[in-house]
């Protein structure tokens, strides 16, 4: 799934593959070049294992909503979504 967020004067593109547990991101900080993000970085520091186990049981739609809510905490709003 691809999620595009806006906030703090920038766009952030997250490309997430739940099956392979791979995450990539692009923003003005990376000059919009996709860079690999460790999967564990999607979760709160120190709670990665518990949160990953909990999100493994979610549907793609529920997982997507969880990411959107977490990004909102950091000041980002969902602009666009594409699932593959």
The pLDDT assigned to 29 comes to 85
pLDDT digits (tens, 9 = 90+) for 3-44: 999 998 899 999 999 999 999 999 988 899 999 999 999 988
Q: Considering Cα of 30, then 32, then 36, then 37, what sign does the dihedral take?
A: positive
State residue 52's pLDDT score. 92
Helix, strand, coil percentages, rounded to 5, for the chain: 35, 35, 30
Provide, rounded to the nearest whole percent, the portion of the chain with pLDDT above 70.
98
Longest CA–CA span in the chain (Å) reads 34
Q: What's the confidence (pLDDT) of residue 84?
A: 47
Per domain, the residue ranges of the chain are: 2-82
d(CA 11, CA 59): 26
């Amino acid at each position: 799934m691809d999620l595009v967020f806006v906030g703090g004067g920038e766009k952030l593109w997250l490309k997430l593959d739940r099956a392979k547990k791979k995450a990539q991101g692009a923003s003005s900080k990376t000059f919009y070049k996709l860079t690999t993000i460790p999967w564990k970085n999607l979760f709160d520091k120190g709670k990665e294992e518990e949160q990953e186990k909990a999100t493994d049981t979610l549907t793609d739609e529920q997982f997507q909503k969880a990411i959107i809510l977490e990004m909102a905490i950091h000041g980002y709003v969902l602009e666009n979504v594409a699932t593959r």
